[in-house]
Amino acid sequence: MFADIGLTEADMHRWHELFERRHPEGHQGFLEWLRLPVDRIADIRRKSAEAS
């Protein structure tokens, strides 16, 4: 849906970075809610934390 509203890849990465920094448990829960595989969740969270 992010792409559908015009967010770029960079915008989406920034959103994940902020979510991870401000609400790490919520970010985890959101990614689980999306039913992403465990390894994908770990990758997204790792990259988000590294960028912050």
User: Domain map of the chain by residue range?
Assistant: 3-51
| pLDDT, position 21 | 95
Low-confidence ranges of the chain (pLDDT < 70): 52
Output the CA–CA distances (angstroms, integers) from residue 45 to 5, 15, 25, 48, in the order listed: 23, 12, 11, 5
Instruction: Please name the residue that has the structure tokens 């590294």.
Output: 50
| Distance (Å, whole) CA 23 – CA 26 | 5
pLDDT at position 1, please? 87
